[in-house]
Amino acid sequence: MVIYNATREQIRTAAEAAGVEARWTGPTTVRLFPVNRQYGRVSLTGRQIHAVCFHGHYRFAEELFKRVPDAVIKSSMGLVTANNLELTWATIGDKLMGDKLTYRDMCECREE
Does the residue 89 lie in any domain?
yes
| Highest-confidence segment of 3-7, 43-47, 75-79 | 3-7
Does the residue 112 lie in any domain?
no
What does the pLDDT read at residue 8? 96
Q: Is 24 left (phi over 0), alpha (psi -120 to 50) or beta?
A: beta
Domain hosting 12: range is 2-105
Backbone angles phi, psi at 102, to 5 degrees: -95, 165
User: For the chain, how many structural domains are there in total?
Assistant: 1
Q: Indicate whether 2 pLDDT > 80.
A: yes
pLDDT tens-digit series, residues 33-54: 988 778 887 777 777 778 888 8
Does the residue 110 lie in any domain?
no
Closest CA to 30 of 68, 64, 81, 70: 64
Does the residue 79 lie in any domain?
yes
Predicted TM-score (pTM) of this structure: 0.84
Closest CA to 54 of 100, 2, 12, 105: 105
What does the pLDDT read at residue 110? 56
What does the pLDDT read at residue 111? 58
Does the residue 42 lie in any domain?
yes
Does the residue 45 lie in any domain?
yes
